Chain A
Amino acid sequence: GNSVTQMEGPVTLSEEAFLTINCTYTATGYPSLFWYVQYPGEGLQLLLKATKADDKGSNKGFEATYRKETTSFHLEKGSVQVSDSAVYFCALSDGGNTGKLIFGQGTTLQVKP
């Protein structure tokens, strides 16, 4: 079945460091891919998404490119801030229903000043 694998955390970085959180997936068909962020005490928020191969999703300085050849959707940011500290989830849509999501296990990011 479909699945998502994320790099294990926590990831600890200094402010202004470069961030990469790896995400790979296994899926039949052509799912949409998502990154969600969960700040402490809050619900999940959609960070960015890509709906087809080679699409690049971007938001708030974060980027991820849908790579079909490597079945990856790695999250990157050039310069992280303390306010980026959160848990990041990679997810894919299960079939055509974009609301039904399969999540990775989440990666905790801690950014220190």
Chain B
Amino acid sequence: GAVVSQHPSWVICKSGTSVKIECRSLDFQATTMFWYRQFPKQSLMLMATSNEGSKATYEQGVEKDKFLINHASLTLSTLTVTSAHPEDSSFYICSAMIRQDTEAFFGQGTRLTVV
């Protein structure tokens, strides 16, 4: 099946710094990628939808200036958490799909801890 890889798997950073998380589709071209966030013992919440070559569409309540999403190619989307604070600590997971009405494939997630 299709493989989506996230990097890094986990990261610890200091408050005030920025962290970039990569999401790559390894064996297919993804026209659309999604970024989710999961708080402990809670469900995955969609943060934004990213289409290759265009600006990301953010869900209500998600700060676009804090969570910068770039989808510069059909195989790579990045999420940058800017000026991170401890409340940004969470599990971030991406998914990618070839086109609408096809299955979305998920990465393994990234555990971010801000200290």
Binds A, one of B11-19, B61-69, B74-82, B95-103: B95-103
Tell me, yes or no, whether B90 is within 8 Å of chain A by CB.
no
Chain B 8-50 near chain A by CB (<8 Å), digits 1 or 0: 0000000000000000000000001010100001111110010
A106 touches B43 (CB 8 A): yes
B43 touches A98 (CB 8 A): no
Chain A 1-36 near chain B by CB (<8 Å), digits 1 or 0: 000100000000000000000000000000000001
A99 touches B32 (CB 8 A): yes
User: Which residues from chain B contact A104 at a C-beta distance below 8 Å?
Assistant: 43
The distance in angstroms between the C-alpha atoms of A90 and B65, with both chains bound, is: 31
B101 touches A89 (CB 8 A): no
In the complex, how many residues of chain B place their beta carbon closer than 8 angstroms to a beta carbon of chain A? 24
Tell me, yes or no, whether A101 is within 8 Å of chain B by CB.
yes
User: Which residues from chain B contact A46 at a C-beta distance below 8 Å?
Assistant: 103
Binds B, one of A37-45, A62-70, A71-79: A37-45
Out of B32, B44, B104, B108, which one reaches A42, CB within 8 Å?
B108
User: Which residues from chain A contact B102 at a C-beta distance below 8 Å?
Assistant: 98-99
B44 touches A103 (CB 8 A): yes
The distance in angstroms between the C-alpha atoms of A1 and B36, with both chains bound, is: 18
The distance in angstroms between the C-alpha atoms of A105 and B41, with both chains bound, is: 7
Chain B 99-113 near chain A by CB (<8 Å), digits 1 or 0: 011111011110000
What is B's interface to A at a CB cutoff of 8 Å? 4, 6, 32, 34, 36, 41-46, 49, 93, 95, 97, 100-104, 106-109
What is A's interface to B at a CB cutoff of 8 Å? 4, 36, 41-46, 89, 94, 96-106
